[in-house]
């Protein structure tokens, strides 16, 4: 019995989001065991995959080739994972647990953790280059500029440095926002803009996506700050709780007090919802963002 | 008085090798002071710039556009500098001095040093992408593959991890070579191959360049190993001396004894000189490699 011809022509089913990490992971064979441990854990025990799912959904909505979207999505998730590995180090946030397990540096050592983060970052750059190699000249240039803006001295790296230096500066919502902008917003901007560039989105749409990344980044970080204040270590929150106040890290609720922090987050939620509406007005396919907006702002109901 | 027309048409003079680092550095304005300190030192107090000068010379010899060669050269030097910043960290080699000055983490802290290394790596990827954006499809693909092979789990990252794990394995010339391959040879391969890809070098030439990178990498690392054993801290050697034996790092001379190590290095010098000769047989312009080979193997005369 032979397969019906149309089965040969059908596109293979898209891999599940989590399996994309395995598909595009660095080759682990022959690696030093501790480095392999860091990478295997990062690949096999992922977090919520919010950024990966966001890139995939945006890619599908905009008819980006599934192979290309899968590479971009995995790259963004690997950049994010690498930044978490480094954030948790003793010289940074000195966290002990992440996602309910001991941090990578507790399990595999600091050196292997730093090298694991580097390996993920290198892999991410390779994946973006593979995904964009066939794009026209100007879209490849825009991809390079966006990566540089989000990951380099204007983005993630600067935000993390400001985060660490925060203990030396007077806390204010403005200063908290500045640190969050560099980190969380930069990574969300990458997740929103990379598939948009690949799909050839308009300058207006790109501008709205950057606004949304800022609102989402501030909202996400603000909600995380409230959690850090309220939860005890027993609840299994994503990072070691209470560390922000102990370490003098930027924390919106610590800077303004709880009622003002709550009001500010509700305002941010409205701004973000407005940015999503304006995108949907540009094209119906952007309505896929509504689902992610609801997920991201859901914790607001319980603060 | 107006300038003669031909003066307007003349190409601007090529920037000095050292000033390329400043020209292509990440923007330091507004950065957190410790991170700015790490980057400013890396840019303003460079080492020998061997890799940068090598890329520039190869670019010129092969008629690669000066702008493109400058970006590739700076990228390779930044990758190298980032790997040194990380190598010296307490959790890696725990060095105290580098190039006769206190290490970056001693001056600016560990967190700023890790973030500074990341900033340089991100900048390097942006520079390579800018340099290669106008190359044909297949040469961009080859650039991506070469970066992945040299910097990722098959190259630099794996070599550094093996280096750190070396204390747990019996020392042998083979194991020493394996660690050196991953680190020094991978970075030299990048310096040799990136301009060759941009110039469209033949597969035969590319293969010879990879051979040369391996011989040079083993030779360079072996000479460094001898220095580590022989010099005292007072002589201002590039890294904290005597640390290889103290930390159980791979060291050729420790693994084989001095006379055998010397003979092995002389053999490697002959193999490298042979690879250079075969390249010169492919095209006269490769003779530029002879100068770099003499520089790299010069310390052999005094060991």
For A52, the enclosing helix (H) or strand (E) is helix A50-61
Structure tokens of B30? 């507004």
Q: What is the pLDDT of residues A121-143, one digit of tens each?
A: 999 999 999 999 999 999 999 99
B161, A39: Cβ pair inside 8 Å? no
Mutate to test the interface with A, among B122, B123, B159 (most CBs of A within 10 A): B122
Six-digit token pair at B142?
A: 């080859």
| Mutation to test the A interface, candidates B26, B111, B140, most A Cβ within 10 Å | B111
- pLDDT confidence of A169, banded at 50, 70, 90? low
Q: Which residues numbered 69-98 in A keep a CB inside 8 Å of some CB on B?
A: 86, 89, 91-92
Q: How far is B114 from chain A (nearest CA, A)?
A: 8
Beta-carbon contacts of B143 under 8 Å, excluding residues fewer than 6 positions away, are: A129, B128, B132, B135, B194, B197, B198
Q: Residue B25: what are its φ and ψ, rounded to 5°? A: -70, 155
What is the structure's pLDDT at B173?
Answer: 62
Locate A96 and state its tokens: 């002990």
Q: How many residues does chain A have?
A: 303
Tell me the nearest-neighbour CA distance from B154 into chain A, angstroms: 8
Instruction: Using alpha carbons, select from A86, A58, A82 the residue that is nearest to residue A72.
Output: A58
Is pLDDT of A227 > 90? no
Tell me, what's the pLDDT at B1? 39
Length of chain B: 303
Average pLDDT, chain A: 86
Lowest mean pLDDT among A8-12, A94-98, A204-208, B149-153: A8-12
| Residue A91: closest C-alpha in chain B | B111
Interchain pair B123, A32: CB under 8 A: no
Is B115 within 8 Å of A157 when comparing Cβ atoms? yes
In the prediction, which pLDDT does A9 show? 47
The more confidently predicted of residues A275 and A167 is: A275
Ranges of chain B whose pLDDT falls below 70:
1-13, 166-181, 230-250, 254
Closest by Cα among B86, B167, B133 to A119: B86
- Of A46, A58, A213, the C-alpha closest to A120 is A46
Helices B288-297/B258-282 angle, 10° precision: 180
pLDDT tens figures, A31-47: 889 999 999 999 999 88
Count CB neighbours of A197 within 10 A: 22
Question: Which of A86-95, A264-273, B211-220, B224-233 shows the lowest per-residue confidence on average (mean pLDDT)?
Answer: B224-233
Contact between A118 and B157 using a beta-carbon 8 Å cutoff: yes
What is the ipTM, given to two decimal places?
A: 0.87
Lowest mean pLDDT among A59-73, A104-118, B90-104, B194-208: B90-104
Residue A245 pLDDT level (bands cut at 50, 70, 90): low
Instruction: Show residues of chain A in contact with B119, CB under 8 Å.
Output: 152-153, 157
Q: Which residue of A has its CA nearest to B38?
A: A161
pLDDT score of B227 = 79
Interface of B with A in 236-275 (CB under 8 A): none
Cβ <8 Å between A32 and B165 = yes
Strand (E) or helix (H) holding B97: strand B97-98
Q: Is the CB of A34 less than 8 angstroms away from the CB of B148?
A: no
In angstroms, the CA A104 to CA A87 distance is 11
CATH class of this structure's domain B19-24+31-302: mainly alpha
Tell me what pLDDT residue B284 has: 93
Indicate the Cα dihedral angle A22, A23, A25, A27, nearest 10°.
Answer: 110
Q: Report yes or no: B104 at the A interface, CB cutoff 8 Å.
A: no
B30–A158 C-beta distance less than 8 A: yes
CA distance B110 to chain A (A): 6
Give the count of Cβ contacts less than 8 A between chain A and B: 142
* Residues in B touching A118 (Cβ below 8 Å): 86, 121, 156-157
CATH, domain range A19-302: 1.10.600.10
């Amino acid at each position: 019995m032979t397969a019906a011809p149309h089965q040969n022509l059908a596109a293979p089913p898209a891999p599940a989001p989590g399996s994309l990490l395995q598909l595009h992971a660095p080759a682990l064979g022959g690696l030093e065991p501790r480095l392999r441990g860091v990478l295997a854990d990062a690949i096999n025990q992922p977090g919520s995959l919010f950024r990966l799912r966001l890139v995939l959904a945006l890619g599908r909505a905009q008819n980006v080739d599934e192979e290309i979207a899968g590479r971009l999505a995995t790259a963004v998730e690997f950049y994010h994972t690498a930044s978490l590995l480094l954030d948790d180090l003793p010289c940074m946030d000195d966290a002990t647990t992440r996602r309910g397990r001991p941090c990578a540096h507790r399990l595999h050592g600091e050196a292997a953790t730093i090298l694991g983060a580097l390996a993920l970052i290198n892999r991410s750059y390779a994946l973006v280059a593979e995904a964009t190699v066939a794009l026209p000249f100007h879209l490849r240039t825009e991809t390079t500029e966006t990566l540089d803006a989000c990951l380099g001295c204007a983005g993630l790296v600067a935000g993390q440095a400001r985060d660490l230096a925060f203990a030396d500066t007077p806390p204010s919502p403005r200063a908290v926002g500045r640190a969050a902008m560099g980190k969380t917003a930069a990574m969300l901007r990458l997740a929103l803009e990379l598939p948009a560039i690949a799909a050839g989105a308009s300058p207006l749409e790109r501008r709205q996506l950057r606004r949304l990344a800022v609102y989402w980044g501030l909202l996400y970080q603000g909600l995380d700050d409230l959690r850090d204040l309220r939860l005890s270590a027993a609840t299994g929150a994503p990072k070691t709780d209470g560390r922000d106040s102990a370490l003098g890290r930027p924390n919106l609720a610590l800077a303004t007090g709880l009622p003002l922090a709550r009001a500010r987050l509700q305002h941010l939620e409205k701004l973000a919802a407005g940015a999503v509406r304006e995108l949907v007005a540009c094209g119906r396919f952007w309505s896929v963002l509504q689902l992610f907006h609801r997920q991201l702002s859901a914790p607001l109901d319980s603060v």
